[in-house]
Structure 1
Amino acid sequence: MNDPRLDLRGRGAVSNPPNRFESLSFHLELTDESLFPEEERVQPTTRLFRDTSRTIVNKNDSPDVGFEYSINPYRGCEHGCAYCYARPTHEYLGYSAGLDFESKIFVKDKAPELLREKLMSRSWQPASLFFSGITDCYQPIERRLRITRGCLEVLREFRNPAGIITKNQLITRDIDILQDMAKLNGIMVFLSVTTLDADLGGKLEPRTSRPQARLKAIEELARHGIPVGVNVAPVIPGLTDHELPSILKAAADAGARWAGYTPVRLPGAVLNVFTEWLDTHKPERKEKILSAIRDVRGGKLNDPRFGSRMRGEGAIAENLRQMFKIYTRRENLNREDLHLTTEHFSRPGDQLSFL
């Protein structure tokens, strides 16, 4: 339920759904919004917490995500995407997957040092590292804290390859590092684009870079020789699926060489967050959108099975597959293999760095 005491502009979630691990929860019964004039409402404050994790490299055992190791410089994400599949991870920290996920951000300020320690270990077998599995490494706070940049500096020094996926134009700040890594096939970047409709994007993913800014980032990265692609994700049946061809074309025109897509996933409390978003922003289309999602998910609103969760099933899912195939071919996307190499990996003192 929307808390009428709060000004939720710039937020994707409108409430804090109960934490599945907590036996006690409360529900605020405030139904008369007229009691709280708009000018008296307050915006939820973003708070930062120091994350004292002793490791930064996470091993992934899921067979359908395409990477083995990941780095998450933050937990939680200011971007506030209403559909974000990572929201339930905040429940492990004792918080909600709703507003808490986007307003209580855990900061791994020691991440570069921990990464250096990991790569210096003789037990580390060089492998590509992925930014990030459960957050966006270029969310707004990164502009000031520069933790992701610090990690990239370490990777450049060790010549360890990495992949990045982000919704934020801020990645262009680090072109100097990315260029050095690209010289030895040590980096690939994907900009995630959900919609080209700036108004829809501003409501659905309120603190991300706007769609045109992301396309501009693709263009700038490509111009500097950095391998870049587009991830059309999530595709939301009944809401954004019709945009797949136009997003692929716009990204290709900007310089993207590769593309991927994923239908929306609504695990756990994400379903509550997303349906509340529909109630707030698209009430007239809510049932149509949810029905289309069920069609992709075998009659359910979420399908956690490996493999099918990334592509879906049924008529709409098949239509997406065919559409993606046709338009990637038409736009000359995915015509070459994505290739990162670990052959240049070296520890300080062994041989030259990327520079």
Structure 2
Amino acid sequence: MPFRWSLNPYMGCAHRCTYCYVRGYERRADRPSGEEYGQSVRVKTNVADVLRQELARRSWRGEGVAIGAATDPYQPVEGYYRLTRKCLEVLAAARNPFSIITRGPMIIRDIDVLQEASRRAEVHITFSVPTLDPTIWRKTEPGTAPPRQRLRALRAVVDAGIDAGVGIAPVLPGITDKPELLTDVVRAAREAGATGVWCNVLFLAPGTREHFLEHLARDWPELLPRYERLYRATTYLAKSETEPIKRQVASLRERYEVADRRQVKLEPAPQPEQLSLAV
């Protein structure tokens, strides 16, 4: 999911996912990236005001903004500060396109704002659902809402006319890449009304690598040698490792006919056509 501009109302994340790539950023900034990460969250209290000023610049071209690339915008602290909601209101007022990636069912609180934004600009929501397996979920995403709760939120968002799909990210080799587990997620996404499904395979940068492998040694010790071999000299796995998984998810997407089936599609009105004047 490439993007040029991102927005994160918070720094740090209470979800404490063991594989979170942001741990690498925190380490480079000389901030805690191990078990301490996520125990405190820094709040950008003026983020909506700064966003409004940036969108008003004459140089701003109305490009898409990705929300949640470095911290979940709907982690628990959002229930109090409501900064994500304020940012959505600013983006909607500016008719600026945006996307959101989240594991937080709290997003249903903001369906009204998302509907208004969808009528004004392109809006897309991704619910991250790496697995439905309860044991794997508890071990790898200790601070997150249960996966099926996220899917219920997805259903509510889609039924409201908003474009929303599922990201199986990250896929963990030897853990969540089993065909039956991937099938469970794609089938459940289809049943929840997802407009699309995509996946990414785990990558491990310094800062994340050490923390993840420590948890792997505790929870799946038999897989530690494989991971040490796969990620010995690289952050990203070779295509020979990742492409078979991506092809499998693509095949499942076709098999279960995951597509945009919204009964009501909220979309911005088409731009008026500029007619030429014949003389």
TM-score using structure 1 length: 0.70
Show the counterpart of 2:4.
68
- Which of 273, 292, 296 does residue 211 from structure 2 map onto? 273
Task: Name the CA distance, whole Å, in 2 between partners of 1:259 and 1:79.
Answer: 22
Deviates more, 1:88-97 or 1:68-77: 88-97
The alpha-carbon distance between structure 1 residues 92 and 318, as it changes in their structure 2 partners (threshold 3 A), is closer
Per-residue CA distance 1:286-334 (angstroms, 9 max, x = gap): 335x26x71xxxxx34644xxxx4x7422x4332132122111112235
Q: Is the 8 A contact 1:235 1:241 kept in 2?
A: yes
Instruction: Report how far residue 167 of structure 1 moved.
Output: 0.9
Show the counterpart of 1:82.
18
Find out whether 1:203 has 2:139 as its counterpart. yes
Long gaps (5+) in structure 2 = 272-279
Alignment of 1:326-345 (within 5 A): 326-333=251-258
Long gaps (5+) in structure 1 = 1-64, 295-299, 345-355
Instruction: Report how far residue 116 of structure 1 moved.
Output: 0.5
* Identical columns (%): 33
Amino acid at match of 1:258: G
Task: Name the CA distance, whole Å, in 1 between partners of 2:267 and 2:18.
Answer: 32
Find out whether 1:318 has 2:243 as its counterpart. yes
- Which of 220, 230, 248 does residue 282 from structure 1 map onto? 220
Q: Is the 8 A contact 1:266 1:301 kept in 2?
A: no
Task: Name the CA distance, whole Å, in 2 between partners of 1:230 and 1:205.
Answer: 16
Task: Name the CA distance, whole Å, in 2 between partners of 1:312 and 1:170.
Answer: 36
Instruction: Report how far residue 253 of structure 1 moved.
Output: 0.9
The alpha-carbon distance between structure 1 residues 156 and 318, as it changes in their structure 2 partners (threshold 3 A), is closer
Task: Name the CA distance, whole Å, in 2 between partners of 1:111 and 1:342.
Answer: 29
TM-score using structure 2 length: 0.87
Task: Name the CA distance, whole Å, in 1 between partners of 2:90 and 2:5.
Answer: 16
Per-residue CA distance 1:137-184 (angstroms, 9 max, x = gap): 111111111111110011111111110000111111111101112224
Instruction: Report how far residue 99 of structure 1 moved.
Output: 2.4
Alignment of 1:230-269 (within 5 A): 230-242=166-178, 243-269=181-207
Instruction: Report how far residue 185 of structure 1 moved.
Output: 4.3
Amino acid at match of 1:162: F
The alpha-carbon distance between structure 1 residues 257 and 312, as it changes in their structure 2 partners (threshold 3 A), is farther
The alpha-carbon distance between structure 1 residues 343 and 66, as it changes in their structure 2 partners (threshold 3 A), is farther
Show the counterpart of 1:5.
none
Show the counterpart of 1:106.
42
Give the greater-gyration-radius structure (CA): 1
Amino acid at match of 1:325: A
